[in-house]
Structure 1
Amino acid sequence: MGSSAAGDSGERVERAAPDRRNRILDAAERIFAEHGYHGTTLRQVAGAAEVKLSLLVYHFESKLRLYVSVFERRQYVNDERLRRLTVIEDLTAPDAVERVVRAFLDPVVELAEDGRWYRRLVLREAADPSSQDRPVIGTLFDPMARQFIAALRVALPGKREGFYEWAYLFAVGALTQSAFDDRLSSISDGTISDESNPGAKADLLRSFIVAGLRHG
């Protein structure tokens, strides 16, 4: 009986460890998104996750390792983007641009509320001049970016030099900025309500980017 109790205890520890790790990553995603890499401390994250600092260090060793782990946990989003891109059979078809844009946007849009802090964090990292010192954008995002840029070259041939690279970066900016819904109230006349039509913003975002690509 003692052996069974010990076994049950061990199983509970095993189940608790991933949950605790995810709680730390959830807290880190939010704190890093709010304060940036340099403005965040491990002690802040530990407090937000309600764990001891020593436990956080045990799991992640350093702030950089924790920061990269936040992005690595979300890498399934980029994997899904690439999967949807690769199933586009004909990049010269009339609707190819729309399909490329959907492959790029929809896996992020589908994160919904769960991905709000992640999108803000991506915007911060992409806009931070010191991001080149961290293995995030260059390692986790740029390989995907190059594949989308190559697809746009086929779908929209003949654009001027630099168009495809800048167009991709502008699309990233529009996507990540769309996470800041709280600004709407300060620039609108009070009639905007995303809650009444949750798909409206995503539809507008797609059409905005497609129009920029086609007419830029």
Structure 2
Amino acid sequence: MGKPAHFSTKERILGAAEELFAQHGFAGTSLRQVTGLAAVNIAAVNYHFGSKENLVNEVFRRRMDVMTAQRLQQLETALHEQPGQLEPVLAAFIEPALALAQDRNGGTAFVRVIARAYAEHNESLRKFLSDHYGHVLREFGKALSACLPGLDKETLYWRLDFLAGALTYAMSDFGLIKRPAGASESGHRVRAARELIRFAAAGLQAPAK
């Protein structure tokens, strides 16, 4: 059996919105532009999403739910198989995010959407992300704290915030180190993850004072 028609319509709207938000930002994109690119009418957007604000949230949910599940599964495995080890916990945080960034089905557009979210200070989106995904950072904070018993909570959260920023930068591929000719995308991603994990581990283990 094929996918139901309403599924393909919803996915088309989400894909169009993601592409336009990446190009023009949230404020700079109208629902009319989204309906034009998705080849649907405004009633379809209202039916599936209800509002532009909810459409923005759902663009994030579509990607973040998958990445969150992968992160938490990998974290659970790390805690079970390598308890007390810092780098496996960092790998669980970093590797699924870099995999998302390289997803050929719109991953690069979504990374630009993340950059827009930072730039536009969209408070309603921030609240949505905090409400739905804040628990992920808390889980990683708890796991990292167990690996770093000498680090106070406030310092740990400063460093976790810096790690999130470095990871977003690595996802965006804005850095000076481009994929070498002849290297595969997956191989380059593995190298990027490995270097970021080592860098983050050194930073997290630095003396607090």
Quickly name the TM-score band, shorter chain normalised: 0.7 to 0.9
Ranges in structure 1 where 5+ consecutive residues have no aligned partner: 1-10
CA distance in 1, matches of 2:181, 2:153: 37
Cα RMSD, aligned residues only: 2.7
1:1-216 paired onto structure 2 within 5 Å: 15-74=4-63, 75-87=65-77, 88-89=79-80, 93=84, 96-111=85-100, 112-113=102-103, 114=105, 115-126=107-118, 128-131=120-123, 135-160=127-152, 162-181=154-173, 183-184=174-175, 193=180, 196=183, 197-198=187-188, 199-215=190-206
Structure 1 residue identity aligned to 2:52:
K
Higher relative contact order (CA 8 A, sep 6+): 2
SS of residue paired to 1:39:
coil
C-alpha offsets along residues 50-93 of structure 1, whole Å, 9 cap, x if unaligned? 32233222221110111111122221211221122123127753
1:132 Cα deviation from its structure 2 partner: 5.0
Q: How many residues align?
A: 198
1:102 Cα deviation from its structure 2 partner: 0.8
What is the aligned-residue identity percentage? 32
- 1:3 aligned partner: none
Ranges in structure 2 where 5+ consecutive residues have no aligned partner: none
Structure 1 runs of 4+ aligned residues shifted over 6 Å read: none
CA distance in 2, matches of 1:23, 1:63: 15
Q: Which has the larger radius of gyration?
A: 1
Structure 2 residue identity aligned to 1:142:
G
**TM-score normalised according to structure 1 size:** 0.77
Contact 2:16 2:38 in 1 (8 A): yes
**TM-score normalised according to structure 2 size:** 0.79
C-alpha offsets along residues 174-210 of structure 1, whole Å, 9 cap, x if unaligned? 11122323x45xx57xx85376242322322222222
